[in-house]
Amino acid sequence: MATGSNLSFVLNRPNDVEFKEKPVPSLKSAHEVLVAINYTGICGSDVHYWVHGAIGHFVVKDPMVLGHESAGTVVQVGEAVKTLKVGDRVALEPGYPCRHCEACLGGHYNLCPDMAFAATPPYDGTLTGYWAAPADFCYKLPESVSLQEGALIEPLAVGVHIVRQAGVSPGQSVVVMGAGPVGLLCAAVARAFGASKVVQVDIVQNKLDFALGFAATHAYLSQRVSPEENARNIIALADLGAGADVVIDASGAEPSIQASLHAVRVGGTYVQGGMGKSDITFPIMALCIKEVTAKGSFRYGSGDYKLAIDLVANKKVDVKKLVDGVVPFSQAEDAFRKVKEGQVIKILIAGPNEKDVVGSVDTSVDEEKVAAVEEATKEGGAACC
């Protein structure tokens, strides 16, 4: 049973957050469990809500708890729950579909029009002490996977879904536009799926340096030239011949999307995983004359979480490398500032009931660096999750 604090990190309006003690949630169904949150990562969407108060038509109108990349420990189970018990460590899938619509019944529950998703208005998120959730959306972690790794399963599942959408198979060449967390994880999943060449593309050199030590076989620093020239440079760098078998955009930036269609080979596959501006100039001629298979990708679907956990458990993807440090709950806002600065990959925030957590991240913020990163990335967006 819940015995600790349910302190929550609440967004009131843009750039206005507070810590607020909220009631411990009660189980609304015999199929739910109550989870004590141990660790939560920060997603680009969380930062966007914090700064702007909205993403597209999702607008924060009432105070909302932030966070959705979490892992925790089961402290209470509903009467009908057979798959979990008190004490189990779980990764949380933070979106719950209606289970009854055409999309859900067709196996695409991520496209459910009535999805309730954590930290997406009007639903509270997981930067809190306790979280009630359907048991089948809580995935038990094997002993070999830590709770901190469990908090990275959510963004890894996004990468898994994108790479599955692309149908990556052994021996293929893959170009990934963007070296943020999801882009890096897409590269790692592509390697785990057998891709022989994985080219990571970004506008920030230190991100590319990290990518080469993480999963990428090649790295390209995007230049201020035409999309066609950037594409030619990428192809030449990795000796891709007529182009890459698969190109994934995890940036949402218009120039990257344009270069993607010029970098993919005839008959290749292009997947849009990053979200940027609602409307862009798109090279439709390249899409048509190459007969490119183009797909969107949104969050994650059936089997993605289980596969993500398996990749971590079997040492196919080392998500620990993405974590720059862990901070106590009291430093949540400082951690958000550091992520906004763009000089870290992942910071984990310990739950309010975690003991003896010492902040291992320098949470001071260089405002000039923030401005520079925002200027460099203002055309792009976060990978969808």
Full pLDDT tens readout for the chain, 385 residues: 677 899 999 999 999 999 999 999 999 999 999 999 999 999 999 999 999 999 988 999 999 999 999 999 999 999 999 999 999 999 999 999 999 999 999 999 999 999 999 999 999 999 999 999 999 999 999 999 999 999 999 999 999 999 999 999 999 999 999 999 999 999 999 999 999 999 999 999 999 999 999 999 999 999 999 999 999 999 999 999 999 999 999 999 999 999 999 999 999 999 999 998 889 999 999 999 999 999 999 999 999 999 999 999 999 999 999 999 999 999 999 999 999 998 789 999 999 999 877 655 554 545 544 454 444 444 444 444 5
Q: Which residues pair with 200 in a beta bridge?
A: 176, 219
pLDDT score for 276: 87
287 conformational bin, left if phi > 0, alpha if psi -120 to 50, beta if neither: alpha
Helix (H), strand (E) at residue 155: helix 153-166
In this prediction, residue 376 carries a pLDDT of: 45
pLDDT attached to residue 360:
53
Q: Name the residue ranges covered by the structural domains of the chain.
A: 7-151+318-377, 165-296
At 367 the pLDDT is 54
Quick one: pLDDT at residue 369? 45
Rounded CA separation 37/106 (Å) = 32
Q: For 165-296, which CATH superfamily applies?
A: NAD(P)-binding Rossmann-like Domain (3.40.50.720)
SS3 288: helix
pLDDT at 372: 44
Does 7-151+318-377 match 165-296 in CATH topology? no
Kindly report the number of other CB atoms within 10 A of residue 357's CB atom.
Answer: 17
Q: What is the DSSP letter of 136?
A: G
Tokens 């399963």, residue located: 153
Tokens of 377: 């990335």
What is the predicted pLDDT for the residue at 355? 84
Q: Class of 7-151+318-377 per CATH?
A: alpha beta
pLDDT at 175: 98
CA distance 148 to 151: 5
What pTM value is reported for the model? 0.93
